[in-house]
Amino acid sequence: MTVSSAPGKVYLFGEHAVVYGEPAVPCAIERRATVTVESRDDDRLRVDAEDLSLDGFTIEYGRGTDETPDVDVSESLIRAATGYIDASVEQVREATDSPNAGFDITVESDIPLGAGLGSSAAVTVAAIDAATRELGVSLPSDEIADRAYRAELEVQDGEASRADTFCSATGGAVRVEGDDCRAIEAPDLPIVVGFDGGAGDTGKLVAGVRTLREEYEFAADTVESIGDIVRQGERALAEGDIDELGKLMNFNHGLLEALGVSSRSLDNMVWAARDAGASGAKLTGAGGGGCIVALDPSDETETALRFTPGCEDTFRAELDTEGVREE
């Protein structure tokens, strides 16, 4: 039996625009997905998802598409949960040259699903690390990041950046621009997260931005402007200038809102954080619902979010300097 965990993340800047080659800066946070893997002596997979902030389920299935798992949860949930696991296992079979490997896989996570905190990247990264090690192969973190990216690409119909998976594999603050992924220095950031209890459909949201960008030149310009904010944000990050970071996050949220990926509950939480004195606040991840990230060293933002209609949970998130690790 082999166990690995990998962190979730928040985007300080640059989600969506990163899909079109602009830079982005995600930061790993101390919320993890933990994946336990045990080899089987056949080529089947058994997935046990206990704690994904949804009803847990266990399914066992083979490779035939005609095989529908007999469980009492929605098919779309099964597809979402098993899609990333299937794609990860394909990467593991290829990396270890074991085309017929089968596994019992247990996923536990304290990262809400589809809420902008990188749950799928964390599960994919941890699954690839645990399953390859289970077969006696230890991959360097950049190869895990690359294979996890390829798994995400497959599940998300070719629409994904390297940002989520690289950040989860490496930990800390990172900068991603196209294929160029690197760790960057970050000061202690007073990160507060607000969660509306919902989730967005990353594929649909990314496709929506693509359509807008193709339809309107000013939408394409908006995507480029997000890139400009990220470049300015990198300087503020290097200088540890929290007020400037906050201002730029506010600007970034405005442009994401213009691109149609915010929601009423995300906007409510962003405004509650700003009114409470946060240096800045924005949605994080694909949007449509899920989480916002704010910067506030005081307790005011958390207190305000607790009383904000539509906010289901709020917590302080420490930067996690450790990426994927053996448990």
Residues assigned a catalytic role: 164
Question: What 3-state DSSP class applies to 67?
Answer: coil
The helix (H) or strand (E) run that includes residue 86 is: helix 75-95
292 lines the binding site for ligand MEV (CB under 6 A)? no
25 lines the binding site for ligand MEV (CB under 6 A)? no
Residues 161-190, mask of contacts with ligand MEV (x by CB under 6 A): x-xx--------------------------
193 lines the binding site for ligand MEV (CB under 6 A)? no
Closest CA to 79 of 160, 143, 157: 157
Q: Which DSSP string corresponds to 259-317?
A: TT---HHHHHHHHHHHHTT-SEEEE-TT-SSSEEEEE-SSSHHHHHHHTSTT--EEEEE
CB of 11 to ligand MEV, least distance (A): 7
**Number of Cβ within a 10 Å radius of residue 220:** 14
160 lines the binding site for ligand MEV (CB under 6 A)? yes
The answer to whether 292 touches 280, Cβ cutoff 8 Å, is no
Query: Scanning residues 258 to 287, which ones bind ligand MEV (CB under 6 A)?
Result: 285-286
- CB nearer ligand MEV, residue 37 or residue 209: 209
CB of 61 to ligand MEV, least distance (A): 27
Piece in contact with ligand MEV (CB under 6 A), picked from 10-18, 47-55, 84-92, 179-187: 10-18
The answer to whether 246 touches 191, Cβ cutoff 8 Å, is no
- CB nearer ligand MEV, residue 160 or residue 319: 160
150 lines the binding site for ligand MEV (CB under 6 A)? no
Q: Cα dist. 312→67, 104, 195, 279, 289 in Å?
A: 37, 33, 6, 22, 12
146 lines the binding site for ligand MEV (CB under 6 A)? no
Task: Figure out which of the listed residues 8, 16, 195, 308 binds ligand MEV, where binding follows CB under 6 A.
Answer: 16
Closest CA to 130 of 35, 9, 27, 270: 35
Query: Scanning residues 74 to 113, which ones bind ligand MEV (CB under 6 A)?
Result: none
- CB nearer ligand MEV, residue 256 or residue 304: 256
Whole-angstrom distance, CA of residue 45 vs CA of residue 37: 10
**Which chain residues interact with ligand MEV by CB under 6 A?**
15-16, 18-19, 160-161, 163-164, 202, 206, 285-286
